[in-house]
Structure 1
Amino acid sequence: MPSGLVALFDDVAVIARAASASVDDIAVAAGKAGSKTAGVVIDDAAVTPSYVTGLSPSRELPIIWAITKGSLFNKLIILLPGAILLSEFLPQAIIWILMLGGAFLCYEGAEKVMEKLGGAKHGKTVEDEIADPQAFETQRIAGAIRTDLILSAEIMAITLNELDLPTWWERGLGLALVAFVVTVAVYGSVALIVKMDDVGLRLLRESEVTNVRRFGVFLLRAMPKLLIALSFIGTIAMLWVGGGIIVHGTHEVGIHLLYDIAHGAEYAVAGATGALSGVVGWVTYAAISGVIGLALGAVIAFVLHKVIGYEGAH
Structure 2
Amino acid sequence: MPTGLVALLDDVSVIARAAAASLDDVGAGVAKAGSKAAGVVIDDAAVTPGYVTEFTPDRELPVIWQIAKGSLRNKLLILLPIALLLSALLPWAITPILMLGGLYLAFEGAEKVLEKLGGAQHGETLADPIEDVAAFEQTRISGAIRTDLILSAEIMAIALAEVAASSLLSRAATLAVVGVLITACVYGAVALIVKMDDIGLHLVEKQNGASKRAGRVLLLAMPKVLALLSTVGTLAMLWVGGGIILHGLEEMGVHAPAHLAHDLQHAVAVATGPLGGVLGWLSYALASAAVGLVLGAIIAVAVHIIGRARGKAH
Same fold (TM over 0.5): yes
Which stretch shows the higher mean deviation, 72-81 or 252-261?
Answer: 72-81
Q: Any gaps of 5 or more consecutive residues in structure 2?
A: none
Q: Secondary structure at the match of 1:195?
A: helix
Look up the match of 1:86: 86
Where does residue 133 of structure 2 map in the other structure?
Answer: 133
User: 8 Å contact 1:200–1:217 — kept in the other structure?
Assistant: yes
Counterparts of 2:90 and 2:309 in 1: how far apart (Å)? 32
Deviations 1:200-247 (A, max 9, x none): 11221122x122111111111122111111112222222222222212
Deviates more, 1:19-28 or 1:174-183: 19-28
- The amino acid of 2:166's aligned partner reads P
User: Using a 3 Å threshold, how does the CA distance of structure 1 residues 109 and 152 change in structure 2: closer, same or farther?
Assistant: same
Bigger shift: 287-296 or 273-282?
273-282
Could you tell which deviates more after superposition, 147-156 or 167-176? 147-156
Which residue in the other structure is 1:260 paired with?
Answer: 259
| 2:301 is aligned with 1:302 | yes
Residue 102 of structure 1 aligns to a residue whose secondary structure is helix
Tell me whether 102-111 or 135-144 shows the greater mean CA deviation.
Answer: 135-144
Q: For residue 187 of structure 2, what is the aligned residue in structure 1?
A: 187
Preserved CA contact (<8 Å) 1:107 1:297: yes
| Superposition map of 1:1-314 within 5 A | 12-207=12-207, 209-307=208-306, 309=308
- The answer on whether the counterparts of 2:200 and 2:214 sit within 8 Å (CA) in structure 1 is yes
Change (3 A) 1:225 1:269: closer
Name the count of aligned residue pairs: 310
The answer to whether the 8 Å contact 1:55/1:133 transfers is no
More displaced, 173-182 or 23-32? 23-32
Identity %: 60
Amino acid at match of 1:301: A
RMSD across aligned C-alpha pairs, in angstroms? 2.8
CA distance in 2, matches of 1:260, 1:291: 15
Cα distance between partner residues in 2 of 1:274 and 1:220: 38
TM-score by length of 1: 0.85
Structure 1 residues 136, 117: CA separation in 2 closer, same or farther (over 3 Å shift)?
Answer: closer
Q: CA separation of 1:39/1:306 partners in 2, compared to 1, >3 Å: closer, same or farther? A: farther
Alpha carbons of 1:31 and 1:102: their partners in 2 closer, same or farther (altered >3 Å)?
Answer: farther
Counterpart CA distance in 2 for 1:298 and 1:186 is 28
Relative to structure 1, is the Cα distance of residues 161 and 98 closer, same or farther in structure 2, using a 3 angstrom cutoff? farther
Deviation at 1:6, TM superposition (A): 6.1
- Once the two structures are TM-superposed, the CA of residue 19 in structure 1 deviates from its matched residue by 3.3
Shift of 1:299: 2.0
- 1:7: Cα distance to partner? 7.0
Distance change in 2, residues 1:253/1:91 (3 Å): same
Unpaired runs of 5+ residues, structure 1, are: none
Q: Is the 8 A contact 1:98 1:158 kept in 2?
A: no
Change (3 A) 1:271 1:132: closer
